[in-house]
Amino acid sequence: MTAPVNAELSASLQAARQDYAALLDKKLKLDLTRGKPSAQQVQLANAMLALPGEQYKAADGTDTRNYGGQQGLPELREIFGELLQVPASQLLAQGNSSLELMHDSIVFALMYPLPGGQRRWSNEERIAFICPVPGYDRHFTICERYGIEMIPVPMTADGPDMAEVERLVSTDPGIKGIWCVPKYSNPDGTTYSDETVRRLASMKTAAPDFRIFWDNAYAVHHLTDEEVQVADILTACADAGNPDRAFIYGSTSKITWAGAGVAFFGSSEANVKWLLHCTAARTIGPDKTNHLRHALFLKDADGVREHMRKHRELIQPKFDAVLNIFDQQLKGLATWSRPKGGYFITLNVPDGCAKEIVRKAAEAGIALTPAGSTHPYMDDPQDRVIRIAPTFPSLEDIEVAIAGVATCVRLVGYEKLAS
Ligand code: PLP
């Protein structure tokens, strides 16, 4: 970081103080906390409100209004099998939330031994997960809720620091899993390199029932013409002789409707059978009518890709606005990600400043995701990561809010440099 010195620093600090006073006067009330699609984005799928209409029978004649079809509607599994890189026969279409499927996978593993496992996880002395940081707070909440120890491992430009991951999993049989958001990760937009995927698939693990929780939440959520691809983890695991290692998740929450979409689970045949056995005790089948309206609306994998370009048109200007303001105001003081897709920008502020910046922003009426949320136990040891979620507010509100955030970064950052 090239810090301004002496006179320059005190001038910068004074300007930041003035700007912050002006910001307080604006009495804003803006919320940048969660990665939600905007009203215009969910509107893109409004044709689904009228579906399936009288066409309530699936392609194979199944009446979607009745019980059954535990694996989910085949035509929807075909569409998303291609996009999530899972054969449709090994992909389940389920409820409205992939987070729920991740949560349930962990609870089921606590209760029933996994394929390859000797006992259920709750009978182990200790269970730990590797948590690449920065990461997704709700993954961490699941671990915390069920007493699963979290071991942070830093992210690199290629995904988690694989030397560290390999070192940890090869010697510690208590480590049962790793959280991965392989494409346009939450929050820093990183996509795992082919080499990272290969190493994850082939690394030696001390736990025989180790699982990669492959949360491909942003599989088709591109922000540029370069529609980034990630290597096929399921095939990589099978090729490496670890066919049961990956649990793959995805959903249409940020394709059609958040909270009223469809979630998917894909894995090896053995794992799919295991999950179906567990879910059979709690449901007589998923909402196939919702599956059908999604299949009718999206049509095929190209239909999904085309639909996602409409999302891009709506949200790319918001990401550009954030990046432009940061470029103009924060060069030399902070760094930030330039994601090619997904829902977030990570802002790295000077060490020890993130909490204070979020507090100052809140005082000015700008709600940011709490500092620390990107790390297990809310503990960002350097107190430096702030997650920016630009999709939900209007472009105008984003511009006002981010200019305000930049003011807070300058104020707290320069104060720290001057102290
Ligand atoms: N996984 C990641 C990485 C996310 O960022 C989100 C939402 O922000 C989810 C999962 C939630 O997905 P769902 O709505 O399918 O539960």
Number of domains in the chain: 2
Nearest atom within ligand 1 for CA of residue 263:
15
pLDDT band at 1 (very low <50, low <70, confident <90, very high): very low
Could you tell me if 64 and 17 lie in one domain? no
Could you tell me if 68 and 203 lie in one domain? yes
Could you tell me if 260 and 139 lie in one domain? yes
Task: Answer with the one of 246, 266, 299 that is the final residue of a domain.
Answer: 299
Task: Tell me if 135 sits within 8 A of 186, measured CB to CB.
Answer: yes
Could you tell me if 270 and 134 lie in one domain? yes
Distance 116 CA to ligand 1 centre (A): 28
The finding on whether 388 has its CB within 6 A of some atom of ligand 1 is no
- The CATH number of whichever domain residue 372 belongs to comes to 3.90.1150.10
DSSP H or E run through 13 = helix 6-25
Q: What angle, 0 to 180 degrees and rounded to 10, lies between the N-to-C axes of helices 74-84 and 288-298?
A: 60
Which residue's C-alpha comes closest to atom 1 of ligand 1? 217
Could you tell me if 352 and 375 lie in one domain? yes
Task: Tell me if 246 sits within 8 A of 267, measured CB to CB.
Answer: yes
Domain holding 265, by residue range, is 53-299
Q: What is the pLDDT of residue 5?
A: 62
Could you tell me if 26 and 83 lie in one domain? no
Distance 182 CA to ligand 1 centre (A): 13
Could you tell me if 357 and 277 lie in one domain? no
Could you tell me if 292 and 369 lie in one domain? no
Nearest atom within ligand 1 for CA of residue 344:
5
- Distance CA(41)–CA(226), nearest Å, equals 21
The finding on whether 391 has its CB within 6 A of some atom of ligand 1 is no
The finding on whether 48 has its CB within 6 A of some atom of ligand 1 is no
Residue at 380 is within a domain: yes
Phi, psi of 93 (to 5 degrees): -100, 125
- The CATH number of whichever domain residue 243 belongs to comes to 3.40.640.10
- Pull the structure tokens for residue 252: 């249409």
Q: Does the pLDDT at position 190 exceed 90?
A: yes
pLDDT band at 2 (very low <50, low <70, confident <90, very high): low
Count, residues in the chain: 419
With a CB cutoff of 8 Å and minimum separation 6, the contacts of 24 are 363, 364
**Geometric angle at alpha carbon 418, from 414 and 419, rounded to 5°:** 120
Could you tell me if 109 and 240 lie in one domain? yes
Residue at 47 is within a domain: no
Q: What is the pLDDT of residue 6?
A: 81
Residue at 43 is within a domain: no
pLDDT tens digits, 392-412: 999 999 999 999 999 999 999
Task: Answer with the one of 299, 322, 349 that is the final residue of a domain.
Answer: 299
Distance 103 CA to ligand 1 centre (A): 12
Residue at 224 is within a domain: yes
The finding on whether 98 has its CB within 6 A of some atom of ligand 1 is yes
Distance 25 CA to ligand 1 centre (A): 36
Could you tell me if 371 and 290 lie in one domain? no
Could you tell me if 372 and 391 lie in one domain? yes
Q: Does the pLDDT at position 236 exceed 60?
A: yes
The finding on whether 136 has its CB within 6 A of some atom of ligand 1 is yes
